[in-house]
Amino acid sequence: MRASVTAHRDFTISRIDDRLYSAFLEHLGRAIYTGIYEPGHPTADKNGMRGDVAQLVRDLRIPYVRYPGGNFVSAYNWEDGVGPREQRPTRLDLAWHTSDSNAVGVHEFYDWCETVGTKPMLAINLGSRGLDEARNFVEYVNGPTGSYWGDLRKKNGRAEPFDVRLWCLGNEMDGPWQVGHKTADEYGRLALETAKALRAFDKSLELVVCGSSNSDMATYPEWERVVLEHTYDAVDHISLHMYFNNRANHTANYLALNEKLDRYIGTIASTISFVKAKKRSKRNVTISFDEWNVWYHSNAADRATLDGNNGWPHAPRLLEDAYNFEDVLQVGCILNTFIRRSDVVRIACIAQLVNVIAPILTEPGGPAWKQTIYFPYYFASVFGRGTALNLTVDSPGYDADVADNVPYLDVSGVHDEAAGTLTFFAVNRHASETLELSIDLLGFGGPGRVIDHQVLTHADLKVANTLANPDAVAPKTGSGVAIDGSKLTGRLPPYSYQMIRVQL
């Protein structure tokens, strides 16, 4: 089976915003406690943060991490997480039916961000709280000393402002499950007034307004239209969320789900354009896809806690999906979609980062290891910086539940002009046939040479990296990819993910 691709230097989509490879940490399960924070751990630093986890995160070169939620934020009092630890209250979290000690708050999270080389993207509670609490939170984080909130921050250990630039105006406010759920009009009005107040404090802040929690919501995409008609000229991004599952155990349908993702992005891009035209605005609002991942493996195990049958446990094992090789292919396709839609998707956050539906797992008091999905995320984040190429792809396809003629080859290409490299991320979605791949490299000069070729493949789609066998799935150096003149050729085995890098 053959597939051909044309990559031309001048046929581009967009400069990729580095924030496309961001992540998310919520006060949920063990994401924070025994995830990034475990004071008694052998690798813990003076702040109680796990050093082994910090290194795995550091290696990913994550630009931003969204915090502290998620559903958690919609009933969160940010004041509970500042000041002396021994005076912080333990609160019951209605979102996940657990308790939170507030041992980690904005100070500890910011210090951790500096340790791992990332920046915070903070979410504001617009569920149970409102404009005044949002204004106070932003002033506490970014305000000068000599004012009440700045002086309180100084008293709590930091005189200099944190200078957090990126703020989420609530979370999934379209969802009936959300504490403080609102209609589109109710939320749009609140978000607008909150945005106006925050801009009165600092007009340079970047603000993210809530879009749909998923594209199956009954209110989608009317929610986006209404919310944007309220807020368009006061915000910078609108958030989208989507999770992927294979409960039916049908691999072909599962691996076609990024076609649904692409339509979701396209619909909201059109909605943005409609509202912009209706308002005669010069402003460009883009998409922050600030929750995405595979999520279904742990659903049955989570029910007892989520239904309240376990009381109010602190940092229980929740949403700890054990990812398999099949999920590698899915995550590769998702990331390819974000690269191909980087003209409108400027921020994306894998949800989440540690333990909770995450590329990194930990054992309390023990090791941390890479889940299978760590690898496509790593390759895209580290090597997917630059300009997204508008590739022409000719590939056989198949019909799936969500779309017809889904190409067996899912591919994206990135040109890093400064480094003089081309990087291709390719997934073969065929169960049994190898793809004979040829890529015409036009307009780049040359000839180039292949400098890196990484392959992820496995005979067992359901194999996972576990505490007992943390390296069951790992990338291997590929072979057989070559350049002859301006043509790159290679073979993609069935159900495989590959990264191919070319030095120009």
Catalytic residues: 172, 291
Rounded to whole angstroms, how far apart are CA atoms 27 and 48?
16
> How far apart (Å, rounded) are the C-alpha atoms in residues 485 and 254?
37
Amino acid at 191: A
Q: Give the SS3 label for residue 476.
A: strand
Distances 186 to 219, 227, 292, 432 between C-alpha atoms, Å: 14, 9, 26, 52
User: What is the helix (H) or strand (E) element at residue 256, kind and residue range?
Assistant: none
Check: CB of residue 356 under 8 Å from CB of residue 451: no
C-alpha–C-alpha distance, residues 346 and 165, integer Å: 15
Q: Helices 374-383 and 325-340 sit at what angle, rounded to 10 degrees? A: 30
> What gap in Å lies between CA 323 and CA 465, rounded to an integer?
7
Cα–Cα nearest to 334, from 259, 245, 428: 259
With residues binned 3-state (H G I as helix, E B as strand, rest as coil), the percentages for the chain, rounded to 5, are 30, 30, 40
45 token code pair: 């630093």
Cβ contact 456:376 at 8 Å: yes
d(CA 298, CA 15): 37
Question: Which position has the token pair 């080859």?
Answer: 409
Residues 502 and 483 sit within 8 Å (Cβ to Cβ) = yes
123/457 Cα distance (integer angstroms): 37
